[in-house]
Chain A
Amino acid sequence: MDEMKYSMAEEIKVFRSWSSPFALRIIWALKLKGVEFDTIYEDLTNKSPLLLQYNPIHKKVPVLVHNGKVICESLVILEYIDETWKQNPLLPEDPHQKANARFWAKFGDDKVMQSIGGGVLLKEGKEQEEGFAASMEDLKYLEEEIRGKKFFGGETIGLADIALGWLAHYLDIFEEIVGLKLIDQEKFPSLAAWKQEFTNAPIIRENWPDRDKLVTKFAAMREANLGKGTPK
């Protein structure tokens, strides 16, 4: 009975903003699995009552609503998607390899995003230098992990690729804004190669947000953080 109900009216909604790299993960995962869904774009400066109702604790995107079931936090949503739609798995079967994928996804969010996003993009002077140094350390670890592999997930895109995927598009933009090269081809050849593979992969290459819009947005974010611009 339940099966009939679901195949008749599978309702999948993704709450996202046009620019959020976190929400992009969900778009990628669902599209990679061939799952159809509706998109609701949120203006994060003016959050809808529905978003606040669905994610009262964090009040953020992405949110996935599957047949009325609400799931928040992008990495949690990714695991839910992988467990619900089993085609094109994002995680391997082996527990140790699974743990490894989760480790690197977490490393991306806890460390890489902080050093690059927080430290390099949003800071200047000595603070930016420190952020840059930290990001070099972080990227060094990623370089070692990706060496010899097409994707962090091996032959196919996996959880860690999706979690780190923002590097393949947003990083160029950040580098342009601050005038610094982070993933230097000579310093990080394997990571540079992965960036190319990922950014040009089917599905991924069709879903990047508009580059110019992103430059404008993140440049403004940097200005606002440095206290020079008018915060929104």
Chain B
Amino acid sequence: MAADEQVTLLDTWASSIGMRVRIALAEKGVKYEFIEQDLWNKSGLLLQMNPVHKKIPVLVHNGKPVCESLVIAQYIDEVWKDKAPLLPSDPYQRAQSRFWADFVDKKIYEHVRTIMTTKVEDQEAAGKKDFIDTLKLMEGELGDKPYFGGETLGYVDVALLPYCCWFYTYENILNFSLEADCPKLNAYCKRCLQKESVSKSLEDPKKIYDFALKLRKKLGVE
């Protein structure tokens, strides 16, 4: 890393999307400044760095912004390429990783958005079963591998792992048990949380639940 390297992350502490970037940076051992954003009162810096979406996360590297969490993750992988590769080197394996990360980004993101904006009593009708089926699909894809990336933490893990600290919240809202319904995924989360790059990037599940309840009240579903 160059001496004048400056890395800043515009993020919010509870964001499962922001956590993806934190994990990627931690895996690469990149030192960065975390600047907490207030999304109800967006800063001039955020609006300047992400004028199109006005969202977090934004990675600012030597003054230049990169937006969209998975675009950022690939950027990080390409810039800090000498350590902990997130994507494999074979094009077909890379395509598989991209496919599954995209699946997490679209399918799981859509599920949790529904969960978070739906009243407890309406969750069954809103797709509780579909969500659990999607998690089981991920279990199938994981198989017996320690990570989705194989022997080492990879791009798909970066996309998915933040949900590990949010599962407690979804369990409570949906009234289900990850351990009972998706034991492999549960074990995967526990195993990955033993890695410092993951545990330091995620937040305490109880704090997340507290935050989630406050947010749901604000949205009028709690």
Contact = CB atoms under 8 A, between A and B. Distances in A.
B191 interface: no
Given A98-B78, A99-B71, A79 B66 contact: no
Contacts of B71: 99, 102-103, 106
B143 to A, nearest CB: 16
B96 to A, nearest CB: 8
Contacts of A75: 98, 102
A58 B96 CA distance: 14
A8 interface: no
Contact of A83 (B66, B91, B102): B91
A4 interface: no
A120 B94 CA distance: 36
B103 interface: yes
A102 B95 CA distance: 15
A66 B51 CA distance: 39
Contacts of B99: 71-73, 76
Interface string A74-93: 01110110011000000000
Nearest to B90: A83
Interface in B54-109: 61, 64, 66-68, 71-72, 74-75, 78-79, 91-92, 94-95, 98-99, 102-103
Indicate the size class of the contact surface on chain B: 20 to 34
A27 B79 CA distance: 31
Contacts of A98: 74-75, 78
B125 interface: no
A98 B66 CA distance: 10
Contact of B74 (A57, A66, A99): A99
Contacts of B137: 57
A79 B79 CA distance: 18
A81 B103 CA distance: 20
Contacts of B1: none
A93 to B, nearest CB: 10
Given A76-B102, A79-B98, A84 B74 contact: no
Contact of B78 (A73, A76, A95): A95
A106 B79 CA distance: 21
Contacts of A141: 51-52
B103 A103 contact: no
Given A73-B102, A103-B68, A80 B94 contact: yes
Given A69-B92, A99-B71, A107-B52, 16 more contacts: A71-B99, A73-B98, A73-B99, A75-B102, A76-B98, A77-B95, A79-B94, A79-B95, A80-B92, A80-B94, A95-B75, A98-B75, A99-B72, A103-B67, A106-B71, A141-B52
11 contacts: A66-B92, A72-B99, A76-B99, A79-B95, A79-B98, A80-B92, A95-B75, A95-B78, A96-B64, A103-B66, A107-B52
Interface of A: 57, 66, 69, 71-73, 75-77, 79-80, 83-84, 95-96, 98-99, 102-103, 106-107, 141
